[in-house]
Amino acid sequence: MNELIKPAALCAGDTVATISLSGGRAGDPDMIDRYHVGKKRLQDVFGLNVVETRHCLMGSDYLYRHPRARAQDLTDALMDSTVKGIISNQGGDDAYRLLPYIDFKVIHDHPKVFIGFSDISTVHNMFTFAGVSSFYGPNLLTPIAQPSALDSFTRDALTKALFSREPIGVVDACKRWTPIEWRPVKSEEVAWTDNTGYEVIQGRGQARGRLLGGCCGPLQQIMGTCLFPTEEQWKDSIVFLEIGAPYGSALAGLHVTRAFAATGMFRHAKALICTSVTEQDKETVLKVLRDEEGLTELPILCNGDFGHRTPMTVLPIGAMAEVDCENAAFTILESGVR
């Protein structure tokens, strides 16, 4: 994978734009208060000036019907010299519909911090296709606007990845986690679970490569388009995937893992990092990678903190990273920004 252009680091006082490139819940009447909680946290915790892109609070119905407007918001934010970063409000399920309206030259010529997760995987691949690094990490509605307060793990991950020019370094697993919570609950009502840390399910030694991946569903939707990474891009990468059994279907999980295997994703990679997975999910991954693909030495590290739960780390796409099987450790070896 060729080295991607890094965006400039954010600083306190910078202006960032919020954007709704997939779902439009941030502007819905029952969610607007939560949006403003997240906006205020960006201002109070990081000292940022937060503005909205033109259509981002138009609501779910409008944004579903107007993918061109969503794409225009991205173009406008990139070309606005006063905007230093772009923060996704949420994921969704149809960011692929932006593809006909995206100008990749604008992305390439105006590299800026861009962050989000879930269906925003599609937009990350737009940045990768344009040659620019972006950040798989928190959306505004979750976990930035999570109930009670922004947790220290997520706050520190954002600070290291977006505000510091130093190498990010060792990414420890979180100490505890909680499911995404959409209700306006009090801090004492949030149910936390002690985390078990990283788990190596296959591999030995250390493996280094550039980070590339995302959420499985959106990646499936862009297979066959120019956005899905080529075999050359997967080569020598560390693939990160939010993998599992879609909608509780183990068969669907098996099918998507096999589909990715057919693209050369795993065959060309140096290692795989997964989010929290069940024992059945582990069996599926090993069935395809070890038994069917013959990748018996490929390091596989599970329980990474980049899935649909709180807290969440930040992964700079294209950054050099290392998986250490001997110590069940994960390190990002360079900065995410310049």
Q: What is the mean pLDDT of residues 255-260?
A: 95
134 and 197 part of one domain: no
Q: Are 307 and 242 in contact (CB under 8 A)?
A: yes
| Residue 254, domain CATH | 3.50.30.60
Domain count, the chain: 2
Q: Is residue 9 assigned to a domain?
A: no
**How much of the chain exceeds pLDDT 70, in percent?**
99
Each residue's pLDDT tens digit, 266-315: 999 999 999 988 999 999 999 999 999 999 999 999 999 999 999 999 99
Provide the domain limits for residue 128.
15-167
Q: What is the mean pLDDT of residues 23-31?
A: 97
Confidence of residue 138 (pLDDT cuts 50, 70, 90): very high
Sign of CA dihedral 72, 73, 77, 78: negative
- DSSP annotation of 229 reads P
pLDDT tens digits, residue range 108-123? 999 999 999 999 999 9
Residue 94 covered by a domain: yes
**What's the confidence (pLDDT) of residue 244?**
73
Percent of the chain with pLDDT over 90: 91
Asked whether residue 148 carries a pLDDT value surpassing 80, the answer given is yes
Q: Which amino acid is at 255?
A: H
Q: Which of 180-184, 296-300, 333-337 shows the lowest per-residue confidence on average (mean pLDDT)?
A: 180-184
H or E element that contains 193: strand 193-194
Q: Do 149 and 252 lie in a common domain? A: no
Helix, strand, coil % over all residues of the chain, rounded to 5? 35, 20, 45
**Is residue 309 classed as helix, strand or coil in its secondary structure?**
strand
Residue 24 to residue 326: CA distance in whole angstroms: 43
Residue 252's pLDDT band, with cuts at 50, 70 and 90, is confident
Residues contacting residue 287 through CB under 8 Å, at least 6 positions apart: 254
* Radius of gyration of the chain, Cα coordinates, nearest whole angstrom: 19
Q: Are residues 161 and 20 part of one domain?
A: yes
Report the candidate in 136, 150, 157 with the shortest Cα–Cα distance to residue 42: 150
Q: Tell whether 317 and 227 lie within a shared domain.
A: yes
Helix (H) or strand (E) holding 50: strand 49-52
182 has a pLDDT exceeding 90: no
pLDDT digits (tens, 9 = 90+) for 188-210: 788 899 999 999 999 999 999 99
Helix ranges (DSSP H) in 131-240: 152-158, 216-221, 231-234
pLDDT in tens, 1-26: 789 999 999 999 999 999 999 999 99
Q: pTM of the predicted model, to two decimals?
A: 0.97
Residue 65 lies in a domain: yes
Give CA torsion, residues 313, 220, 274, 338, to 10 deg.
-40
What are the pLDDT digits (tens) for 217-247?
999 999 999 999 999 999 999 999 998 767 6
Q: Are 307 and 213 in contact (CB under 8 A)?
A: no
* 129 lies in some domain: yes
pLDDT value of residue 254: 92
Q: Give a yes or no: residue 10 inside a domain.
A: no
Residue 169 has a pLDDT of 98
Q: Is 54 found in the same domain as 123?
A: yes
When pLDDT is averaged across residues 137-143 and rounded to a whole number, the result is 97
Q: Tell me the per-residue pLDDT of 64-117, one tens digit each, with 9 for 90 and over.
A: 999 999 999 999 999 999 999 999 999 999 999 999 999 999 999 999 999 999
Q: Does residue 6 lie in a domain region?
A: no
